């Protein structure tokens, strides 16, 4: 089961994210909720693979073997011993994936598959503003907001990686 799930995640990760999200939204129908579902499905493989790698790494540590030897149940072993040590890379991945989610959601909105009017969304605002671009420069402000939000989440992700990665603290 584990191998099949990982191979399915490999298949999902091999496809371009925007194309896969657009396909999912085309199946589910346009709308903000369906766009969010599509973006979550597109971003899921990176979390699954990262969690799998982190758990495999932690399970080979001596403290896990010691907890297993004193009779810890599998649930207690995972929740109290392994999970807290796997959270740091997942938190960093989440902060970095927020920027991808913002870009994908804005792209789906720009293509008309995201939030439907009158719901405000940056991609939809940019799509509606393209006809006024030569006369009104300020219609590009939703694009600037996308840029700033993506930049902010990437910087937060880099800062969290620097703060939470023990290998970087040693050097």
**Nearest of 23, 109, 27 to residue 101 by alpha carbon:** 109
Whole-number Å distance between alpha carbons of 59 and 124: 46
Q: What pLDDT is attached to residue 81?
A: 86
The CATH number of 2-170, from 1.10.3720.10, 3.90.1170.40, 1.10.645.10, 1.25.40.10, is 1.10.3720.10
Q: Which tokens sit at 74? A: 């599998």
DSSP-based three-state secondary structure for 38: helix
Whole-number Å distance between alpha carbons of 39 and 18: 8
Q: Is residue 170 pLDDT above 80, yes or no?
A: no
**pLDDT tens-digit map of 70-117:** 998 989 988 888 888 888 889 989 988 999 999 999 999 999 998 888
In the chain, domain spans: 2-170
Q: How far is CA 55 from the centre of its chain?
A: 19
| Residues 166 and 92: beta-carbon distance below 8 Å | no
């Amino acid at each position: 089961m584990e191998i099949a799930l990982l191979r399915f995640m490999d298949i999902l990760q091999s496809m371009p994210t925007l194309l896969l999200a657009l396909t999912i939204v085309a199946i589910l129908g346009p709308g903000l909720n369906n766009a969010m579902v599509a973006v979550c499905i597109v971003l899921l493989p990176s979390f699954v693979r990262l969690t799998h790698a982190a758990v495999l790494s932690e399970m080979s540590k001596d403290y896990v073997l010691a907890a297993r030897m004193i009779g810890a149940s599998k649930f207690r072993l995972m929740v109290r011993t392994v999970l807290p040590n796997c959270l740091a890379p997942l938190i960093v991945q989440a902060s970095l994936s927020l920027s991808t989610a913002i870009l994908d959601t804005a792209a789906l909105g720009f293509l008309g598959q995201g939030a439907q009017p009158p719901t405000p969304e940056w991609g939809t605002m940019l799509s509606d503003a393209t006809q006024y671009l030569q006369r009104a420069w300020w219609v590009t402000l939703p694009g600037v907001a996308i840029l700033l939000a993506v930049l902010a989440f990437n910087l937060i992700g880099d800062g969290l990686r620097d703060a939470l990665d023990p290998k970087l603290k040693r050097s």
